[in-house]
Copies of this chain bind each other. A is one copy, B any other.
Amino acid sequence: MITHKKRFETIIQKLKDNGHKITPQRIAIVKILVDSEGHPSVENIHAQIKTDFPTMSLATVYRNIVLIKSLGEVLELGFPDGSNRYDGNKPYPHPHVVCIKCKKIVDPDLDSLDEMKKEVEVETEFKILNHRLDFFGICSDCQAGKV
């Protein structure tokens, strides 16, 4: 399991390698992306960042998330009922478990979907490149009525 610090350095290096400046705003955004436990939305990231950067623009956060996504260093998840969510720690397809009450997202440790992927390729004649697997339910906190 790679550390948050390692992920931070990887993303910052990727920005440098692609000719981008390492601004204080970018450092702050990447830090939140890799430290976050729950795949935050842009709005979440902006709200957290305002503590240390009260004048940072929401547009700056959006622009930088798009940039980091274009470098393949963040996984973007869309849900039907709201804004997109971002995972800076595992920027590749992996399962999620989403609480439908508090919207928390956790990453369970499940077996690879490679077998299914092969079955799908045979059945559909698609060339499969990636996948998405989410389970939706109620977390133990919300079951206990803490939220």
A residues apposed to B, CB below 8 Å? 76-81, 84, 95, 97, 99-100, 106, 108-111, 116-117, 119-121, 123-140, 143
Contact = CB atoms under 8 A, between A and B. Distances in A.
Given A76-B80, A80-B78, A120 B110 contact: yes
> In this complex, which of A97, A100, A128 has the most chain B Cβ atoms within 10 angstroms of its Cβ?
A97
Contacts of A123: 108-109
A119 B126 contact: no
22 contacts: A77-B80, A78-B79, A78-B80, A78-B81, A95-B116, A95-B120, A97-B120, A97-B124, A97-B126, A109-B123, A110-B116, A110-B120, A117-B135, A121-B137, A124-B139, A125-B140, A127-B137, A127-B138, A128-B137, A131-B134, A131-B135, A132-B133
A131 B98 CA distance: 9
> In this complex, which of A84, A108, A117, A126 has the most chain B Cβ atoms within 10 angstroms of its Cβ?
A126
Q: What is the copy number of this chain in the assembly?
A: 2
A131 B116 CA distance: 16
A119 B111 CA distance: 10
Nearest to A77: B80
Given A77-B80, A129-B138, 18 more contacts: A76-B80, A78-B81, A99-B126, A106-B124, A108-B123, A109-B123, A110-B116, A121-B137, A126-B138, A126-B139, A127-B138, A129-B137, A130-B135, A131-B134, A131-B135, A131-B136, A132-B132, A133-B134
